[in-house]
Structure 1
């Protein structure tokens, strides 16, 4: 669902890195960004129009992107055990298969 906050993907990545670097002391910075060859049809941004959901269901975003991404990051940092579980084993195998040769 859109929220009238369209941003380029790289801007979103940089905002995530900036916030995470404030929250953890582990050398988190933009040097972690790894540019890969774009896949066919790759998008540089996602422009999602929320008009239909507003008109049909009356839904409007209550949280803007900056606040929402901070809340999301905080949740992941507060639930590290869950993160460790989903980023190991079969999940890790999937990621390696999908992204190893990019």
Structure 2
């Protein structure tokens, strides 16, 4: 009977000893948009048709467009990287303005 497989931190690449604590994660980023940009001046249907035409004629492949809308990753991180991830994803100290 063999022991657990060696693990590698997905953030820093260091090996994680079998006796060390590690953290599993799953991160999913999904693009959303509440409303279409009304600057087109047409109806919602016309604006949507214009947007679809723009996407079809653009240089991005369907896979590139899909990757912009949905990205997911899972793995393990070491204790040091867990702290960094938590700090990065913690709520900002003051309300952020739109990008």
Q: Relative to total residues, which structure has the larger helix share, 1 or 2?
A: 1
Whose radius of gyration is greater, 1 or 2? 2
Provide the TM-score with structure 2 as the length reference.
0.30
- TM (norm. structure 1) is 0.30
Q: Which has the higher contact order (CA 8 A, sep 6+)?
A: 2
